[in-house]
C-alpha cells in the first residue's frame, strides 16, 4: 500500500509532465534499422560498455523525491526521479549543461501538459546516458523553454528500460 501511495503522489505531483502529442522517433536522429538495437556506432568514454549488475538505491528527501545525477560525455545534471513523467524533461539550463542547444529550430516540437499548463517543448536525443552506474544507449528528452521547468525530471522513458523499479522504505531502488 505504501508503494502505491508514493507512486500516486509522484503521478499527481506538481512537477509531473505528460506527453500529449505523439512523438515520431524518426525525427529524433535514430540511426538504428528496424529490429536492431538503437546504439551509437562507437562507444564514448562515458559509454555503456561496462554495466554493473547491482541495483542503484536513491534515498528520498523529506518531500518524498528521489534525486540522482544524470551524466553524458558532455556533462552532468541533478534530476528528480519522476514516475509521473512520461518522458525525461530537461530545463533549458540543464540541456545546455549536457551539450544540447537551448533552442534549435531543427528539432521537432511537442505539446506537454504540466502542472502549470500546456507547454511547447523541443525533442532531442542523448546518447550513452548514466544514472549512477546504470546506463542506457539512447534517451529521448524534451527540452523545455527557459523558465518552464525549475529542475529536470527523469521520466518513465528511462525507467521502462530498467528491469525493476521499487519504491519503499524511503528509497527508490532501480535494477538494470
Domain count, the chain: 1
What pTM does this model have? Answer: 0.71
> Is residue 41 one of the residues assigned to a domain?
no
Per-residue pLDDT tens digits for 20-61: 333 343 444 433 333 333 433 333 445 676 666 789 999 999
Q: What is the pLDDT of residue 153?
A: 95
Distances (CA, A) of 162 to 58, 93, 118, 151, 173: 15, 27, 29, 23, 11
Integer Cα distance of 112 and 129 in angstroms:
23
Contact 60, 2 (CB under 8 A): no
How confident is the model over 92-101, as a mean pLDDT? 92
- pLDDT band per the 50, 70, 90 thresholds, residue 103: confident
SS3 (DSSP) at 3: helix
- Report yes or no on 38 lying in a domain: no
Whether 24 is in a domain gets the answer no
Which residue range forms the structural domain that includes residue 131? Answer: 2-7+47-175
User: Is residue 13 included in any domain, yes or no?
Assistant: no
27 in a structural domain: no
CATH number at residue 87: 2.40.70.10
Q: How confident is residue 143, by pLDDT bands cut at 50, 70 and 90?
A: very high
Q: What is the DSSP letter of 28?
A: G
Q: Is residue 16 part of a domain?
A: no
Cβ atoms within 10 Å of 17's Cβ, excluding its own: 24
- The verdict on residue 23 lying in a domain is no
Amino acid at each position: 500500500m505504501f508503494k502505491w501511495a508514493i507512486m500516486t503522489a509522484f503521478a499527481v505531483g506538481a512537477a509531473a509532465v505528460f506527453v500529449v502529442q505523439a512523438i515520431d522517433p524518426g525525427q529524433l536522429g535514430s540511426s538504428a534499422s528496424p529490429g536492431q538495437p538503437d546504439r551509437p556506432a562507437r562507444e564514448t568514454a562515458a559509454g555503456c560498455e561496462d554495466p554493473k549488475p547491482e541495483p542503484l538505491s536513491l534515498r528520498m528527501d523529506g518531500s518524498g523525491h528521489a534525486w540522482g545525477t544524470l551524466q553524458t560525455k558532455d556533462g552532468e545534471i541533478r534530476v528528480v526521479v519522476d514516475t509521473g513523467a512520461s518522458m525525461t524533461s530537461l530545463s533549458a539550463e540543464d540541456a545546455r549543461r549536457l551539450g544540447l542547444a537551448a533552442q534549435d529550430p531543427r528539432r521537432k516540437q511537442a505539446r506537454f501538459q504540466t502542472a502549470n499548463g500546456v507547454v511547447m517543448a523541443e525533442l532531442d536525443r542523448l546518447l550513452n546516458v548514466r544514472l549512477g552506474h546504470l546506463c542506457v544507449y539512447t534517451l529521448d528528452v524534451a527540452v523545455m523553454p527557459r523558465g518552464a521547468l525549475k529542475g529536470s525530471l527523469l521520466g518513465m522513458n528511462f525507467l521502462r528500460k530498467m528491469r525493476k523499479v521499487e519504491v519503499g522504505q524511503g528509497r527508490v531502488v532501480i535494477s538494470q
